């Protein structure tokens, strides 16, 4: 009993953020996820230093060579090093994952805040539009947007960001509805604070934890979505490397060069798994009631 009491006092003294961090590092799966994420970020940032070859350099004397000491992951149909392309492909995937989630957050959170805080007809209207966006399955909407915007990595990121936005609107609105009836928000209103200050200073900081969790999980979804769009030819355009477009090419050479299909897929799987594990860990760490 004393030990429990002293433990909770200790947690309270450390502050909620440090307590959450402490719970996060106790979860092996979340730590594994964080380590893999850091690894991919480091690989993407240091690509020119760690890549054994130029990812665009062709070598017609080394076309579709199996993995060897010279080319650890083998070479592709025009002699480019698969390892170098997987390393540089991490840039496109992580960039797309982060930027599209930033777009979804940047648009979704303000709309959700306004919807939840204002209520009445504004809430009704915004929610019907959000329902309409949620009714279009994520990838179908992203494909349609990318089709009309034109195929490029930037447009793919915009398309994924807009398609992911409704989830953030819904989440922000739900959290705002719960927080806006708290005593401290009522007190801020009673003191005559303008609505913008109440939303930005009193509501937003208190709804950040679930948004952080959703953002981490959404990065995983966005990485798969970018790979899917690039696989369909609507994302990163050749010859720039991307895991999805590498798989698109690889499917034409399955019998001759199976390694071309293996490594980009492993990279997508590991990156998505890492963000999923980190997101699950964050959710458990930020909400201690969850097991």
Partner 1 sequence: MLAFLIRRLLIAVPTIFFVSIIIFGLQQLLPGDPALALAGEDRDPNVIAYFHKKYHLDQPFPVRYLYWIDDALHGDLGQSLRNNMPVGALVLQKLPVTLELGGIAFLIALLIGIPAGILSAVKNGSAIDYAANVFALWGLSTPNFWLGIMLILLVSVDLGWLPASGFVPPTENLGENLRTIIMPAFVLGNAVAAVIMRHTRSAMLQVLSSDYVRTARAKGLSERTVVLHHSLRNALIPVITLGALEFGQLLSGAVLTEQVFTIPGFGKLIVDAVFNRDYAVVQGVVLVTATIYIFLNITADFAYFLVNPRLRS
Using CB under 8 A, list all residues that contact partner 1: 128-129, 131-133, 135-141, 143-150, 220, 224, 227-228, 231-234, 247, 250-251, 254-255, 258, 261-262, 264-265, 268-269, 272-273, 276-277
| Residue 138 near residue 229 (C-beta atoms within 8 A) | no
Shortest reach from residue 19's CB to partner 1, in Å: 25
What is the C-alpha separation between 90 and 175, in angstroms, rounded? 33
| Minimum CB distance to partner 1 smaller for 66 or for 200 | 66
Shortest reach from residue 249's CB to partner 1, in Å: 11
* Owner of token pair 């913008």: 196
User: Within 13 A of 99's CA, how many CA atoms are on the CB side?
Assistant: 14
| Minimum CB distance to partner 1 smaller for 82 or for 185 | 82
Burial group, residue 62, by CB count within 10 angstroms (0-12, 13-18, 19+) = middle
Q: Using CA of residue 97, residue 103, residue 106, residue 107, what is the dihedral sign?
A: negative
Shortest reach from residue 141's CB to partner 1, in Å: 7
Which strand (E) or helix (H) includes residue 122? Answer: helix 120-135
| Residue 152 near residue 94 (C-beta atoms within 8 A) | no
| Minimum CB distance to partner 1 smaller for 105 or for 268 | 268
| Residue 73 near residue 86 (C-beta atoms within 8 A) | yes
User: Encoding tokens for residue 123?
Assistant: 């809430």
| Minimum CB distance to partner 1 smaller for 137 or for 288 | 137
Shortest reach from residue 255's CB to partner 1, in Å: 5
Burial group, residue 163, by CB count within 10 angstroms (0-12, 13-18, 19+) = buried
Shortest reach from residue 14's CB to partner 1, in Å: 29
| Minimum CB distance to partner 1 smaller for 25 or for 144 | 144
| Minimum CB distance to partner 1 smaller for 114 or for 234 | 234
Shortest reach from residue 12's CB to partner 1, in Å: 29
What is the C-alpha separation between 172 and 274, in angstroms, rounded? 25
| Minimum CB distance to partner 1 smaller for 1 or for 290 | 290
| Minimum CB distance to partner 1 smaller for 11 or for 273 | 273
Shortest reach from residue 44's CB to partner 1, in Å: 19
Shortest reach from residue 140's CB to partner 1, in Å: 5
Q: At what angle do helices 28-45 and 16-25 cross, to 10 degrees?
A: 90
DSSP label of 273: H
């Amino acid at each position: 009993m004393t030990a429990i009491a002293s433990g909770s006092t200790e947690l309270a003294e450390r502050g909620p953020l440090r307590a959450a961090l402490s719970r996060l590092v106790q979860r092996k799966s979340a730590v594994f996820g964080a380590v893999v994420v850091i690894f991919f970020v480091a690989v993407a940032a240091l690509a020119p230093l760690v890549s054994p070859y130029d990812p665009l350099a062709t070598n017609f004397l080394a076309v579709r060579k199996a993995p060897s000491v010279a080319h650890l992951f083998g070479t592709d149909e025009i002699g480019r090093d698969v390892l170098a392309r997987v390393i540089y492909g991490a840039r496109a995937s992580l960039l797309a994952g982060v930027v599209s989630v930033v777009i979804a957050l940047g648009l979704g959170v303000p709309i959700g805040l306004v919807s939840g805080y204002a209520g009445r007809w504004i809430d009704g209207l915004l929610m019907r539009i959000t329902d309409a966006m949620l009714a279009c399955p994520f990838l179908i909407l992203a494909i349609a947007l990318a089709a009309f915007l034109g195929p490029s990595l930037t447009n793919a990121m915009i398309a994924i960001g807009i398609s992911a936005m409704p989830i953030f609107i819904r989440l922000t609105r739900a959290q705002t509805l719960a927080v806006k009836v708290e005593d401290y928000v009522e007190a801020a209103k009673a003191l005559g604070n303008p609505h913008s200050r109440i939303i930005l200073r009193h509501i937003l900081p208190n709804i950040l934890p679930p948004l952080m969790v959703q953002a981490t999980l959404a990065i995983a979804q966005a990485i798969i979505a970018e790979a899917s769009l690039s696989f369909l030819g609507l994302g990163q355009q050749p010859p720039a490397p991307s895991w999805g477009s590498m798989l698109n090419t690889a499917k034409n050479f399955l019998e001759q060069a199976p390694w071309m299909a293996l490594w980009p897929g492993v990279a997508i799987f590991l990156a998505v798994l890492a963000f999923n594990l980190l997101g699950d860990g964050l959710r458990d760490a930020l909400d201690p009631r969850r097991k």
